[in-house]
Amino acid sequence: MKSWWELGEGAGFSGNKLSTYQIDCPFCEERDNFEEAAHFEKKKPNSSKVLNFDTLKCGNCAGYVMVLWSSSDYDFHSGIHDFRVLPWSLTINKAPTHWPQAIQRYWVQANKSLQVENWDAAAEMARSTLQIALRDHGAVGKDLFEEINNLAEKGVLPPLMKEWSHEVRELGNDSAHPRPEQKETSLGDARDIVEFLDFLLEYLYDLPKRIEDYRGRRKAEKATTQIKKKTN
Ligand SMILES: [Zn+2]
Residues 6+ apart with CB under 8 A from 146: 140
Report how far Cα 79 is from the mean position of its chain's Cα atoms.
22
Q: What is the mean pLDDT of residues 67-76?
A: 84
The pLDDT, as a whole number, for residue 10 is: 79
Question: Looking at per-residue confidence, does 136 or 19 come out higher?
Answer: 136
SS3 string, 51-81, reads: EEEEEEEECCCCCEEEEEEEECCCCCCCCEE
4 confidence band (pLDDT: 50, 70, 90): very high
What is the Cα–Cα distance from 160 to 3, expressed in whole angstroms?
31
102 contacts 121 by C-beta, under 8 angstroms:
no
Question: 31 CA distance to ligand 1 centroid (A)?
Answer: 8
The pLDDT, as a whole number, for residue 42 is: 97
Question: 28 CA distance to ligand 1 centroid (A)?
Answer: 4
Question: 35 CA distance to ligand 1 centroid (A)?
Answer: 11
Torsion of CA 208, 213, 218, 222, to 10 degrees: 130
Question: 26 CA distance to ligand 1 centroid (A)?
Answer: 7
The pLDDT, as a whole number, for residue 226 is: 82
What is the Cα–Cα distance from 50 to 201, expressed in whole angstroms?
33
Question: 33 CA distance to ligand 1 centroid (A)?
Answer: 8
**Total-model pTM:** 0.67
**Helix H or strand E encompassing 83:** strand 80-86
95 contacts 166 by C-beta, under 8 angstroms:
no
Question: 22 CA distance to ligand 1 centroid (A)?
Answer: 14
**Mean pLDDT computed over every residue of the chain:** 90
The pLDDT, as a whole number, for residue 129 is: 94
The pLDDT, as a whole number, for residue 76 is: 59
- Which range, 22-26, 87-91, 105-109, has the best average confidence (pLDDT)? 105-109
The pLDDT, as a whole number, for residue 220 is: 84
Question: 89 CA distance to ligand 1 centroid (A)?
Answer: 10
Question: 63 CA distance to ligand 1 centroid (A)?
Answer: 5
Share of the chain above pLDDT 70, in %: 98
The pLDDT, as a whole number, for residue 166 is: 92
Low-confidence winner among 20-34, 131-145, 175-189 (lowest mean pLDDT) = 175-189
Closest by CA position to 173, among listed 130, 204, 133? 130
75 confidence band (pLDDT: 50, 70, 90): low
Residue type, 58: C
Question: 57 CA distance to ligand 1 centroid (A)?
Answer: 8
Give the tens place of pLDDT for each residue, 36-58: 999 999 999 989 899 999 999 99
